[in-house]
Structure 1
Amino acid sequence: MTPQLLPIADSAHTRRAAWALLRPYRRLAVVAGLALALATVVGLAGVDLLGRIVDDVRAGGTDLARPAVLLALAATVHGIGTAIGAARIAEVGERMLADLRERFVERALHLPLDRIEAAGAGDLTARVTRDVTAVAEAVRYALPTLVRSALSIGLTLVALALLDWRFLVAALVAMPLQAGTVRWYARTAGPVYADSRVAVAAQQQQLLDSYAGADTVLAFGLARRHTDLIAARSAAAVDLSLRGVGLLSRFFSRLNLAEFVALGGVLTVGYLLVGAGSVTLGTATAAALYLHNLFNPINAALGLADEVQVARAGLSRLVGIADLPAPSTGPAATSPATWPEATSPATATPPSAATAAGADPVPPAIVVSGVRHAYRPGEDVLHGVDLEVSAGERLALVGASGAGKTTLASLVAGTHRPHGGRIALGGHDVAELAPAELRRRVVLVTQDVHVFAGALADDLRLARPGATDAELWAALGRVGAIDWVRTLPDGLATVVGEGGHRLTEEQAQHLALARLVLADPPVVILDEATADAGSAGARALEAAANRALSGRTAIVVAHRLTQAAEADRVVVMADGRIVESGTHDALVAAEGPYAALWSAWSAHR
């Protein structure tokens, strides 16, 4: 199936986005421009001073001390001004890049999971890594050079015109060749670099797929096939990269030719004008030096066309995500003040009771009507599923691997959208709920728990940013995690995650359940959340999950059938359909599919 790439902004959209990012820093940009302009003017004055020295020496002058001091002063001012201006330009660029990164991350985190899966994780990974790096390099190095070069080119052309307009005409002879070279390169290289980005994303996606499924690949003898796929993706990326290198070589060859043409023109004009007595030898020397200095910024600016093309391609891919519509906050969502206040485990009011008291007008019930879903067109994994979960009911989903349990759970949680049918939470269609409102109503806890780098307290507060330490301890107590948290070196302040204290799988699951208590949603989906722990750890986590789920509507994807036995109702799935539904005792007595599963489970406990 061909990946459906995430949005890429067109050129006009990218320019508008860049201007919007620059707008808050216009004053700083003006200061930087003035500093660079001053430095450039002083530098050009030094060249004019050299021409005057040539004329003085030719006339027999011997006092060079004063011109030498002025040259040293001009060089000093030029260096200081250039440094200040370049630093300020880089600062503007870094601030713009920081704003873009924040906007990109905000939008990327709210992308629907099925949209990311359709594009392939490699597409998003390439944008976060290679595209951000390309834009950052351009901001730090190319942007200051381009601004400085543009000022130098413009002011040097003015200086040539002031010396004699014919020097300017001679210098401009090369401009059509330079302009044609730039147009050719921009027209030809842009699509190549854009295609190269897509090819690199495809290469990364194939590497991720092959690495993540390494066990399956080896088990089924698919190593050669995956190696060939990786080789094909890599060959496509390398081919496009080599095409870019070839274009760059031809680009610089044409620029060198343009420089030779212009220099020859100015030297010829200078020779003729000096011979005719129209200008002095010093003036002709200054013109030649101006032209020589002119091509340094021209070649620097045009030489950066390669980086500009790469950065432009990367920027359009970042803007494509960053300018997605902002996630709606819904009527009651992201502000911590609107979340239910946490209370101690002994006095907490169950969500269903709060509903009865009128605190939440939306009953926490789940209705699944005729739901179908397919990860690939024409290959449904759910076939018209109908299910209703009453407020406060705990329902267990069981069945063999591939039965559709996790798919149904993810659809109810809103991480995927069904391809047919309807799912409602408390009477509201999941597809119509804003992301923040959906997260307020339902939380999904899986066996894959990410522990964020930082203090344990900060990790817990992801669920409730305004929670006090007392509320954090209350949540930990409710899931039975207080004892091990107290043994940590700094308690709640202990740094966990990457580079910090490593948590066990059981402790990470405790952390996820504590977040759940703090978030206090009316509906919870547990997708095999205790599956990775050992027997003793699993029993402890099941007890912790039971306490966390108390008073909530819950769907539990049961890896261990002890969870099903404790549920209010058990739903058995097979081949994307519901084949049984009832209490544990009733299903065991019916001697159907669930009874067979229970018998096999009991025999191997």
Structure 2
Amino acid sequence: MTEPHLLPVADTRRTRTAMRGVLRAQRTQVWLALAALLAAAGCGLAAAPLLGHVVDLAADRTTRGLAWPVVLLAAAAVGQGAASYVGLRLVAQIGERFLAATRERFVDRALDLPLERVERGGSGDLTSRITEDIAMVSDAVRSAVPEFVSAALVIVLTVAGLAALDWRFGLAALVAAVPIQAATTRWYLRRSAPIYGERRRSAAGEQQQLLDTLAGAPTVRAFGLADDHVERLGHRVDRTIDAIAAVTYLQTRFFGRLNIAELTGLAAVLATGFWLVHDGAVSIGTASAAALYFANLFGPINAVLMLLDTLQSATASLARLIGVADLPVTSPPTTLPAPALPAPAAPTPAIPAPAVAGPAVPTPDVAGAPDASAGSLVARGVRYSYQPGHEVLHGLDLTVPAGTSVALVGPSGGGKSTLARLLAGLHRPDAGTIHLDGRPVDATSPAPSITLVTQEVYVFAGTLADDLRLAAPDASDDALWAALTDVGLAAWARTQPEGLATVIGADGHDLDATKAQQLALARLALADPTVAILDEATAEAGSAGARLLETAARQVTRGRTTVLVAHRLSQAATAEHIVVLDGGHIVEQGTHDALVATGGRYAQLWHAWSASRATPSTATPSDGAGQRERDIPVTVRVGEQAP
């Protein structure tokens, strides 16, 4: 099974450097947190010697002086609780700031990624990082890290307390337990890190396969590929299960070895205490305090080692987040003088648009109207491939003069949508150049003066006004109503009681395909780009909806340079210039009338499309309102002869 080109993962050194950088930036809070947790640990350690003193009093059969150890035990408990609260709160604040900075930087870089990089890596890889990996790091920051720091300090101070009672207690604990614990921990970490990395990768692959299957469900059903996709998903799930089983097996062996260390250490401390009491070197109370100290180590040591498991997993997730967060920031295209470019090489010379009888339609004189002198798109020698060795576009040359409309037509798979995305700056050509008014259009930083509208429109959850203002945050309500009027959606919006405050998307009005596309075109009008690229922006609507959308598209693109991937040839026929693509080549270009007259590939497409529209549909409703216009035939390949 071919693996996608996943997004980068930071190495261990870079991950540690990022964490140290956060600690340095908050060094004051770090030291305060450590001081508070040390105080809490110290208060907790006071219990063992105080209880040892009580044991000595009991051995002497006296109750004199018993009150003050009890008072001190109560004071130690209160002090431990207060200091722990302050310390853990500070640690949590430090962690939250780190998490917020990492999350914001990740989202910033993710939104800055070229679309082709996300597509090649698979959207599942990106979504698993922003969901599962963020959740894993969040859990670690909010619980595992504070508990780990607190437990580690308790361990250090307890060992120091053992040595303070008598150095031989500390030596017995260190010699008997620490070598086993250290060897066990090293053995575990060496094996767990790769397993957790595999666990995160398998989760990303599983999510990607699930997304692919669900997104392509109609195609999967149409071609009878359900069993194949279930099998693919099964392989991904099996890989995840294998990783989880490996982690569980490793953990079982890990904690079994730790139990041996606890048994060995406690036996050594008790034996040392018996020997020292027998020799009169220490009292029974001191030996009891030493045993309590070591027994109290079981919880913190197990907590630390168990939390190492969580921290290992969180570190693997953090490395995946930092891998994306560390991607270089793209810079906007540099303004360059317009290059002297040769005339476009095409199989046939470009045919100028004929004069149209009738009065010219003037460009509206309104604020924000596009500059008629801007918007010239020039592509030279453009090549592109989604997979190495499988080129989709083969050295295309195309010139779109400022203020003109160009339609891209041709059979499915000819490269129309790919060329549209390259012109919009969403992809970077493998070879060749694309310039807008002499400035390079860079896939890593699409020109703000180019707006692409596709048939896949996302309606964001929120109010209608909020959705529109994504394109123009400072737009007034009047401007929003004007945009809605331009696309024919104002009448519907005025019928809603809340008007612009109408909630749409999730938990709101579920807009149909036509209204969603009208909304997208209204955003385009508000964005006021120099160049508008419409990639089959009416494909999801029926016939009546398509007519509304085509009218809306003409309204919002009037006066702008427009590149239209034509879903219907009737739409292409209204463009000033038509470019026919087939097999990644421009095979023909010119005006509609001229191309039909030449009898070439466009003429064959036009006649086939016209004939298909003339054929009555057996599924047409009686009123015809639901009939869907037939698309450009995608299974008919026109002749291979030169035009």
TM-score by length of 1: 0.92
1:532-571 matched pairs, under 5 angstroms? 532-571=540-579
Match among 294, 310, 332 for residue 291 of structure 1: 294
Match among 395, 420, 426 for residue 431 of structure 2: 420
1:251 correspondence with 2:254: yes
| Match of residue 19 from structure 1 | 20
- Cα deviation 1:182-224 (Å, max 9, x = unaligned): 1111111101111221122222222222222222223223223
1:152 correspondence with 2:150: no
Classify 1:27/1:487 alpha carbon distance in 2 versus 1 (closer, same or farther; 3 Å).
farther
1:429-508 matched pairs, under 5 angstroms? 429-431=440-442, 435=445, 438-508=446-516
Mean alpha-carbon deviation: is it higher for 82-91 or for 37-46? 82-91
**Would you say the 8 A contact 1:447–1:530 is kept in 2?**
yes
1:10 correspondence with 2:46: no
Give the RMSD, CA atoms, in angstroms. 2.0
Task: Quote the Cα distance in structure 1 between the aligned partners of 2:22 and 2:105.
Answer: 11
1:190-209 matched pairs, under 5 angstroms? 190-209=193-212
1:531 correspondence with 2:532: no
Aligned residue for 1:269, secondary structure, equals: helix
Match among 372, 381, 385 for residue 370 of structure 1: 381
| Match of residue 400 from structure 2 | 389
Classify 1:35/1:499 alpha carbon distance in 2 versus 1 (closer, same or farther; 3 Å).
farther
Alignment-mate amino acid for residue 497 of structure 1:
G
Task: Quote the Cα distance in structure 1 between the aligned partners of 2:33 and 2:414.
Answer: 63
| Match of residue 329 from structure 2 | 326
- Cα deviation 1:363-395 (Å, max 9, x = unaligned): 411112222222222222222222111111100
- Cα deviation 1:407-463 (Å, max 9, x = unaligned): 1111111111222222222222324x761xx33131111011112222322222222
- Cα deviation 1:93-134 (Å, max 9, x = unaligned): 223212211111111111111111211222112212221121
| Match of residue 513 from structure 1 | 521
| Match of residue 75 from structure 2 | 73
**Would you say the 8 A contact 2:454–2:535 is kept in 1?**
yes
Task: Quote the Cα distance in structure 2 between the aligned partners of 1:416 and 1:500.
Answer: 34
Q: Kindly, what percent of the aligned residue pairs are identical?
A: 54
Alignment-mate amino acid for residue 32 of structure 1:
A
Alignment-mate amino acid for residue 37 of structure 2:
L
**Unmatched 5+ residue regions in structure 2?**
336-362, 614-628, 630-643
- Cα deviation 1:551-599 (Å, max 9, x = unaligned): 1111000112222121111111222222221111212222322223223
| Match of residue 340 from structure 1 | none
Classify 1:504/1:28 alpha carbon distance in 2 versus 1 (closer, same or farther; 3 Å).
farther
**Would you say the 8 A contact 1:345–1:477 is kept in 2?**
no
Classify 1:329/1:283 alpha carbon distance in 2 versus 1 (closer, same or farther; 3 Å).
farther
**Would you say the 8 A contact 1:352–1:391 is kept in 2?**
no
Alignment-mate amino acid for residue 74 of structure 1:
A
The structure in which a higher percent of residues are helix is 1
Alignment-mate amino acid for residue 352 of structure 1:
D
Classify 1:546/1:464 alpha carbon distance in 2 versus 1 (closer, same or farther; 3 Å).
same
Alignment-mate amino acid for residue 584 of structure 1:
H
Shift of 1:9: 0.3
**Would you say the 8 A contact 1:21–1:100 is kept in 2?**
no
Task: Quote the Cα distance in structure 2 between the aligned partners of 1:533 and 1:395.
Answer: 22
**Would you say the 8 A contact 1:107–1:327 is kept in 2?**
no
Alignment-mate amino acid for residue 193 of structure 1:
Y
Aligned residue for 1:395, secondary structure, equals: strand
**Would you say the 8 A contact 2:461–2:506 is kept in 1?**
yes
**Would you say the 8 A contact 2:425–2:444 is kept in 1?**
no
| Match of residue 380 from structure 1 | 391
Mean alpha-carbon deviation: is it higher for 268-277 or for 381-390? 381-390
Aligned residue for 1:351, secondary structure, equals: coil
Task: Quote the Cα distance in structure 1 between the aligned partners of 2:172 and 2:490.
Answer: 82
Mean alpha-carbon deviation: is it higher for 219-228 or for 385-394? 219-228
Task: Quote the Cα distance in structure 2 between the aligned partners of 1:20 and 1:567.
Answer: 56
TM-score by length of 2: 0.87
Match among 116, 124, 127 for residue 125 of structure 1: 127
1:404 correspondence with 2:404: no
Alignment length (residue pairs):
583
Task: Quote the Cα distance in structure 1 between the aligned partners of 2:242 and 2:51.
Answer: 50
**Would you say the 8 A contact 1:345–1:475 is kept in 2?**
no
Alignment-mate amino acid for residue 454 of structure 1:
G
